[in-house]
Structure 1
Amino acid sequence: MQFRKLFFSLCCMVALGASLAACSEDEELFDDSGSKVTLPVHRAFILNEGTQGANNATLSFYAPDGNADFIKDIFYTQNQAKLGDTGQALIEYNNDLYAIISGSRYLVRMNTAGVEKQRYAIPESEGDPRYLAADDGYIYMTQYGGQVTKLDANTLKVVATFTEGNNLEGIAECDGKLYVANSYLKNDAGNQYQKELFVINADNMQLETTLTVDINPNQVLEEDGKIFLISWGNYADKGYSAQMIEPQNGNKQTSLGVATNMAVGDDMVYFVNSETDYSNWPETSTNNTFFSYNIKTATVNSSSFLKNAPAELATSSVYMMSVDDEKGDIYIGVTFYSNSNGTMYRFDRNGNFVEKFDCGGQNPKTMVFID
C-alpha cells in the first residue's frame, strides 16, 4: 500500500512538473511586457494602410477564438502614439511584429502585444520601403530605387545592402535565397515595367541569377519550398497573372491563371481575381473570381473555395487575403477606400463562412497570426 501511494505521488509530481514546464515554455515564447491589456495566446493583428497622406494607418487586434474584445488601434492603446502615414507591410518573426509605415518612412519592431521595441528610420537619401521577409535572425526590406536592406532582427541595425534594379516590390525567402520582384522604372517617359525576379544569396547579399517572369512582378510568397508570384501587367495589353516557381527544379515556372491577390497556408494557395473598374472614380465596380492551387497534388481548382459567402463579397474590392496557420481559416479583407473602414470576411479551412467584421481602419493591407 505504501509503495502504491509513493508511486502515485511520484507520478503526480512528474505530471505537474511537465505541465509547469510546458506552461513555462509557452510563456517564454511571448513577450507582452509593457502591455496595457491582457491578450489571449491565439491572437491576430491587422495592419490597415489608411489613406495616403492622412496619417491614419492603424494596427488592429482580433481574437480568432472570440475570447477577447476587438481593439481598433492597439498600437495607439499600447504606445499612446499613432503609427503614421500608410501601413505598407506587416510580418511576424520569432514572436515579434515588424511593420513598414512607408509614408512615415520607418520600420518598427513590436512585441507580441504591439508594444514598440525599436524603430529604424529610412534615410532620406534612400527609396521608400515596401515589403519584408525574415530568416536566420535577419529582416530583409525591399525599397524603391533598387535596394534590399538586411537588418539584425533584434536591433534593427543595418548589416548589409543589395543595390540593383529599380523599384523593388515583393520579397520571399526560400532555402537561403531571396526572391525579389524588380517591378518598374519611372522616368520622363513614364513607367517602364520590368520582367525580372532577382534571386539573391541572403548570406552575402549578392545576386545569383535573374529570372525572366511575367511583366510587372509584385506580390511574392513562399509555401512548401515553392515561390508564388503575382504580376500586375502593363495596364494595357498585358493583364494580371499568377505563376509558380520551383527553386528545387531549376526555377521551373508554371502559369496558374489570372489573379490580383493571393494567400498561402496549409499546403494551399488561395487566389482572387478582383477586377475593379476605376473609370468612374470615385465610383467603382468590382467582380471577383476565387480559385485555388493544391501544392501537394499540383492541381488548380478553378471553382471557388468559398461556400455560402455573403452576396456582397462577390462585388467588393479585395485588398488582402491571409491564412491562419493554426486553424487553416481564410481571411479576406475588402476596401471601401477612404469612404469607410474595410471589412474582413472569415471562412474556415473548408470554405464555410464564419463571420465578418469591421477591420478597424481603412484599406486592410495584411493580417498576421500569433499562437
Structure 2
Amino acid sequence: MKIPLLINKKALVVLALGLGLMAACKKDKTEDPIIKVPVIAGTKGVYMLCEGLMGGKNSAISYYDMATKTTVADYYLQVNKEPLGETANDLEQYGSKMYCVVSGLQGTKQSFLDIIDIKTCKSLKRIAFNSSTDGYMPRFVAFYKDKAYVSRYDGKVNRIDTATMAIDGEVMLSEGLEQLAVANGKLYVCNSSHPLYPKGAKNKVSVIDLATFTKTKDITVNNNPVRIQTADNGDLFVITWNDYITNNEPSLDRISSVSDTKIASYNYDLGTIIINGSSAFVAKDVYTNPDIKALNTTSGALGGSLITDGQLINTIYGLTANPFSKEVMVADANGYNSNQGFAYCVGTDGKVKFSFKTAGLPQHAVFNYKYE
C-alpha cells in the first residue's frame, strides 16, 4: 500500500526541521565559550594595614612581594600619590577589592571608606563619612552577598552596594559601634563603652536582620564588647574589654546565632581574635604575658601557642588568617613605634615562614593571590 504523497511531504518537512534543530543545537553547544573559574595557585603578596600614630595622619598600607622578598612601607602612597589618611582601622578583602576603613579623629572631617583594587592597590573610590563639621568615625566593615556593612562611632551602620560602590541604606543603633560579623543571615554589631559616646549601649551586641535591614534585638554581654567573629558552627565569639570603671572583668562571650542569646562566657583577657572555619586564635594577656593561643570553637577552651619556634612578638596588634594557606599573619606594633612595625607569617606547623618590616602600628592583612 502506498503512503499518500501529502503525508510523505509532511514527514520530510518534520524530519528536515528536526535535523536542522539538532544541527543548530550541536553547533551552539560547540561554540559556547567555556567559562573558567579562577583557581588560587598561591599567595603573590601581602598587604598590611598600618594604623600609624593618632594625630600624625600617617596611616599606610605596606606591601610585601613574595617573589622578590621586598617590602614597600607605604605602598598606598606610592601607587596613589596621596597618603591614606588619619587612623585607618580596618582592611578587609571581598571579591577583587579590598575595603579600608579610615576612622579619622573626633571633631575633624577625615572619615571615609576607601575601596581599593587588590591587584594594583589603586584606589577606586572614597566614600566620605563626614557631616558638614565632623566625621562619623567609621570603624569596621563586614560583607554579606553583594553588600558591605560599615559600623560607625556615631551609632549607625551603613549598607554599601559592592557593584555600584554607593551607600544604599543605613540603620541607627547605639553610639560607639565597633566590630561586626555575619551569621545565619544576620549582622551582629558590638556596642562599646566608648568614653566619647555616653549614649552607647555599653554591654550589648545588636542583631540586624539582613533581609529587611532592620534591628531585631539586643543581646546582653559583658561590658565593652569590641571584637566579634563567627565560627563555622554558627556561634559568635565576642571579646569584651571592660572599661576599668565597672567592677566586671574582661571576657570572651559566646552567642548562638540560632537563639540569639549569650550561651557561655569564658574568663579570658584577650586583645583580638581571628576565626577561619574551624581554626581560631586569640591574643591573650597582651600587656602582661602576651601569647597567641588556639581557641577550640566547640568547647571554648584555649589550646597551645600559635608560634612554636621561639619567635617573640613585642606588641601583638593584629591577627589575620590566610584562607588559602591557613597561615596566620601576626602584626607586631613594636612597642607602639610610630615609624616601624613587623609582620610575621606563621605556618600551620607553628614556625615563622617569613617576616617583613612595615609602617607604624600594623594591624590587619589582605592577601594578593596568583591564579591558575
Give the TM-score, by structure 2 length. 0.80
Cα pair 2:228 2:273 within 8 Å, conserved: no
In 1, Cα distance between equivalents of 2:74 and 2:34: 34
What is the aligned partner in structure 2 of residue 270 from structure 1? 281
In 2, Cα distance between equivalents of 1:130 and 1:115: 22
Cα pair 2:44 2:67 within 8 Å, conserved: no
The alignment status of 1:110 with 2:104, answered yes or no, reads no
Choose 1 or 2 for highest CA Rg. Answer: 2
The alignment status of 1:167 with 2:169, answered yes or no, reads no
- Give SS of 2:77's match: helix
Q: Say if 1:322 and 1:157 are closer, same or farther in 2 by CA, change over 3 A.
A: same
- How many angstroms does 1:254 deviate by? 2.2
In 1, Cα distance between equivalents of 2:43 and 2:196: 48
In 1, Cα distance between equivalents of 2:131 and 2:55: 17
| Residue deviations 1:128-172 (CA, integer Å, cap 9, x gap) | 111100111111000012110111112332111111211101101
- Give SS of 1:149's match: strand
- How many angstroms does 1:46 deviate by? 0.6
The alignment status of 1:301 with 2:318, answered yes or no, reads no
In 1, Cα distance between equivalents of 2:317 and 2:156: 26
What is the aligned partner in structure 1 of residue 51 from structure 2? 49
- How many angstroms does 1:221 deviate by? 1.5
- How many angstroms does 1:202 deviate by? 1.8
Cα pair 1:241 1:260 within 8 Å, conserved: no
Deviates more, 1:201-210 or 1:65-74: 65-74
The alignment status of 1:123 with 2:130, answered yes or no, reads yes
In 2, Cα distance between equivalents of 1:184 and 1:195: 7
Cα pair 2:159 2:168 within 8 Å, conserved: yes
Match of 2:190 among 181, 186, 189: 181
- How many angstroms does 1:358 deviate by? 0.9
| Residue deviations 1:22-75 (CA, integer Å, cap 9, x gap) | 8x6439x9xxxxxxxxxx863321100011121111111124x54553222221
What is the aligned partner in structure 1 of residue 353 from structure 2? 354
Match of 1:292 among 294, 309, 331: 294
Cα pair 1:75 1:115 within 8 Å, conserved: yes
- Give SS of 1:170's match: strand
- How many angstroms does 1:287 deviate by? 2.3
Cα pair 1:170 1:220 within 8 Å, conserved: yes
- Give SS of 1:321's match: strand
Letter in 2 for 1:74: Y
In 1, Cα distance between equivalents of 2:269 and 2:259: 23
- How many angstroms does 1:303 deviate by? 3.1
- How many angstroms does 1:238 deviate by? 3.0
- Give SS of 2:310's match: coil
Percent identity reads 22
- How many angstroms does 1:208 deviate by? 1.0
Q: Which runs of 5+ in 2 are unaligned?
A: 1-29, 105-109
Letter in 2 for 1:247: S
- Give SS of 1:26's match: coil
Query: For 1:1-371, what aligned pairs fall within 5 Å after superposition?
Result: 25-26=37-38, 42-63=44-65, 65-66=66-67, 69-103=70-104, 104-112=110-118, 113-124=120-131, 127-184=136-193, 186=195, 194-224=202-232, 225-236=234-245, 237-248=247-258, 250-256=260-266, 257-276=268-287, 286-295=288-297, 298=299, 300-310=301-311, 312-313=312-313, 316-335=314-333, 336-359=335-358, 361-371=359-369
Cα pair 1:325 1:369 within 8 Å, conserved: no
Cα pair 2:175 2:199 within 8 Å, conserved: no
| Residue deviations 1:268-292 (CA, integer Å, cap 9, x gap) | 210112342xxxxxxxxx5213322
- How many angstroms does 1:252 deviate by? 4.4
Q: Say if 1:21 and 1:358 are closer, same or farther in 2 by CA, change over 3 A.
A: farther
Q: Say if 1:342 and 1:239 are closer, same or farther in 2 by CA, change over 3 A.
A: farther
Letter in 1 for 2:249: G
Cα pair 2:344 2:355 within 8 Å, conserved: yes
In 1, Cα distance between equivalents of 2:149 and 2:354: 34
In 2, Cα distance between equivalents of 1:266 and 1:353: 22
In 1, Cα distance between equivalents of 2:189 and 2:200: 17
- How many angstroms does 1:342 deviate by? 1.1
- Give SS of 1:78's match: helix
What is the aligned partner in structure 2 of residue 33 from structure 1? none
Letter in 2 for 1:177: K
Q: Which runs of 5+ in 1 are unaligned?
A: 1-16, 30-39, 277-285
- How many angstroms does 1:186 deviate by? 4.0
Give the TM-score, by structure 1 length. 0.80
In 2, Cα distance between equivalents of 1:364 and 1:129: 18
Letter in 2 for 1:323: A
In 2, Cα distance between equivalents of 1:255 and 1:127: 32
In 1, Cα distance between equivalents of 2:211 and 2:304: 41
- Give SS of 2:38's match: helix
